[in-house]
A and B are shown apart, each in its own frame.
Chain A
Amino acid sequence: MKEILIRPERCMGCRSCEIACAVEHSQTKSLFGAVAEKPVPRKRVYVEFAPEYSISVPMVCRHCEDAPCVSVCATGALSQDGIIRVVTHDMEACIGCWTCASVCNYGMIGRNKEQRIAIKCDWCPDLELPACVSACHTGALVYKEVEEFSGSKRAEAALKLARGVTAGESR
């Protein structure tokens, strides 16, 4: 299963992912149309700034394997697909009790102000690549299988270690 994974060291804080997310979840699915829509299209990805480190981090729903938001949802508005694991939210069933927001460790439950219900990432069902990922120019967001993502991180780390070994030999 592919995930939206984060490489925070690459985030420039441009918020392009946020705009692309709101546009993808608009009626017209176009930027110029979306800005004029009512209800206002809402984003589901959040660029958070950590001032201590002067670093921006794009935060996006983890679609947790054992999703607390789904376990606590009283109306069944939040549900998880058994195979692809995507956690989706049924607007009709949501009563806006915010229990999900209380248990999400990442603050990924947003609020649709007009309808007063929860709103969250749906991995863009109409797109091959989620809108936030294709909007990211620096590759801070990637859409990959964990195995592949961790594999390449592992390879990178291994390379660093290997360099250390050779440097040691030559000394």
Chain B
Amino acid sequence: MVKNVYERSVDPATRAMLLEADRAGIETAWDRFEKQQPQCGFGQLGICCRNCNMGPCRIDPFGEGPEKGVCGATADIIVARNLLRMIAAGAAAHSDHARDAVLAFKQMAEGKAQSYQIKDDAKLNALAAEYNISTEDRSKEEVALDLANVLLSEFGKQTGPIQFTRRAPEKRLKIWEAVGIEPRGIDREIVECMHRTHMGVDNDPVHLLLQGLRTGLADGWGGSMIATDVQDVLFGTPTPTMSESNLGVLKSDEVNIIVHGHEPILSEMIVAAAEDPEMIALAKKMGAKGISVAGICCTGNEVLMRHGVPAAGNFLQQELAVITGAVEAMVVDVQCVMPALGSLASCYHTKFISTSPKADFPGTVRMEYHEEKALDTAKEIVKTAVENYANRDAGRVNIPKDKSACMVGFSAEAILGALGGTPQPLIEAIVSGAVKGVGAVVGCNNPKVQHDYGHLNLVRELIKNDVLVVTTGCNAIACAKAGLLKPEAAKEAGPGLRAVCESLGVPPVLHMGSCVDISRILVLAAALANHLGVDISDLPAAGAAPEWMSEKAVSIGAYVIASGVYTVLGTVPPVLGSPKVTGVLTKGVGDVVGATFAVEPDPFKAAGLMIGHIQEKRKGLGLKT
């Protein structure tokens, strides 16, 4: 077991908690992953179909058995349909999150959600300008209401365009139009994926994959981008701030509340409620020194970016947080929340509180929130957590000491701000070769990869080679824990990047936010491309998702390559059962959108692929390599 622990994660806090889990006889995702071995070959290759009840059908990957499903679908068709459904699910998750953010924004504008205010007037006005909404002689709320309504209409639009796609460079828009993948409306593309993959509809692999790219774009330049921007207006656009990360941020003498999931709508209120003097007084009465909020996954990233609320860990650490025995409440909303938390929490005093009207789990205390009384619900949740402090068993508390300082909050606006309002200094650094290019490293954890090993080694390799890294999601938290988000981490960078970071006082790895905030990376890429008068696919830039696992990651992959960014995946997507689909994704699509996927589980080799691609693009721009 001890050996196992080292094989499972490179993160010291995670290793400590896995030992604790072992001692306590508690099972985690890693144990369940082992019990699933070997995993189904048909599933891994993507060649099983359950889309109708003549099936399920499977294709023999070795050609001895069936080559077609009952309907006649080949491996190519089945793989493409399955992939399209993954993209649809991922795009739906991001976009439905966006819808809720806009609905909260609308209620706020109508004065029905008193808990929320407009925190960023400048961004409100900028968005209004994009939509031609007049701001003159109008109250903020009037403008916000108009904006909320046009944003809501993006979901139900039938013929496009989704306004934010207009942020992409002219050349990119032309490609989308020519290929026929310009999204027409967010919900429309997702629904159409479900229609096309129904038995007997779309059965041409390439035709299916193009719809995948279009749906991805509806997510990246639609749903995700709307989520980011509306949340910025409501909660403030992030600016650089210091914080801490890893399980060591949990406090042995305070009430610990974890916010986990993906939306800031409620967690913002929890952060506010935890600062309420009445609640703090109650905590003191219960014998605690105070109330401490920490985040996991992207809800964590949202409050980390805007308030410097520490991040307790990334995706695979959610169970470990409970195993510290020091968490009074694990408050969850949507996405990436393991149903395992229910039975786990019942082994401890932790209250597992589900809050989203959409998401419940076994073993939860249900405290559903609604926009109209968000702060009241948040206070109730905090009160529940504080009262639960009395049930904490000090004998079972085992908080690892590991944590690291981190500088976070690099929204596109903040990065441009740090550069003096224009991308010119960054472009100069790239032109001079001090900075070779930009690597976007994002995505989840996955027990198929040693936890954080893929993330950290890939990022370290990139910065060592003078590639500036922008990060979001669970990669960002991995980097934060490992100290890569400290300005001093510039020491780990190559000489060129190091000098640039030191002169600006920023780390070589810039935390740009949650997974929906990959839209910030798109905006930044578009700003660089527009400034240079080129397309995004001409930029010396590459993306990677070293430990990805979720369907959202598949949608992200689709919009990132459709936007022109070469992307390296660290875990194998379920497509290898179809030589055709594999060929299109790793080669053919390049002729269409100027970017392809590669799969490379070894982070060092993955970095090599990205750097090679960046050098090639430098050559293309006539820059020295």
Contact = CB atoms under 8 A, between A and B. Distances in A.
Interface in A6-56: 14-16, 18-20, 22-23, 31-32, 34-36, 40-43
B42 A19 contact: yes
B65 to A, nearest CB: 8
A40 B61 CA distance: 9
Query: Which of B38, B41, B63 counts the most chain A CB atoms within 10 A?
Result: B41
A101 to B, nearest CB: 16
A22 B572 contact: no
A134 interface: yes
Given A32-B576, A35-B576, A35-B577, A16 B41 contact: yes
B58 A40 contact: no
B46 to A, nearest CB: 11
A32 B572 contact: yes
26 contacts: A15-B42, A16-B40, A16-B41, A18-B65, A19-B40, A19-B41, A19-B42, A19-B61, A20-B38, A20-B41, A22-B62, A23-B41, A31-B44, A31-B45, A32-B44, A32-B576, A35-B61, A35-B62, A35-B576, A36-B576, A40-B62, A41-B62, A42-B64, A43-B62, A43-B64, A135-B38
Contacts of A19: 40-42, 61-62
Interface string B37-53: 01011101100000000
B62 A134 contact: no
Contacts, number: 42
A25 to B, nearest CB: 10
A134 B63 contact: no
Interface residues of B, number: 16
**Closest 7 pairs (CB-CB, A-B):** A19-B41, A35-B61, A22-B62, A40-B62, A32-B576, A135-B38, A31-B41
Contacts of B44: 31-32
Interface of B: 38, 40-42, 44-45, 58, 61-65, 572, 576-577, 579
B32 to A, nearest CB: 13
A134 B34 CA distance: 12
Contacts of A22: 61-62
Contact of A40 (B40, B63, B576, B579): B63
A16 B38 contact: yes
Given A18-B65, A34-B61, A35-B45, 12 more contacts: A15-B58, A19-B41, A19-B61, A23-B41, A31-B41, A31-B44, A34-B62, A40-B62, A40-B63, A41-B62, A43-B64, A134-B38
A16 B61 CA distance: 12
A74 to B, nearest CB: 27
A20 B41 CA distance: 8
Contacts of A35: 45, 61-62, 576-577
A35 to B, nearest CB: 5
Nearest to B61: A35
A42 B41 contact: no
Contacts of B40: 14, 16, 19
B45 to A, nearest CB: 6
A35 B42 CA distance: 11
Contacts of B42: 15, 19
A23 B41 CA distance: 10
A60 to B, nearest CB: 16
A42 B572 contact: no
Contacts of B63: 40
B589 to A, nearest CB: 19
Nearest to A136: B38
Query: Which of A19, A34, A42 counts the most chain B CB atoms within 10 A?
Result: A19
A43 B577 CA distance: 17
B48 to A, nearest CB: 10
A23 B577 CA distance: 14
A107 to B, nearest CB: 14
A34 B60 CA distance: 12
Contacts of B65: 15, 18
Query: Which of A31, A35, A40, A134 counts the most chain B CB atoms within 10 A?
Result: A35
B18 to A, nearest CB: 24
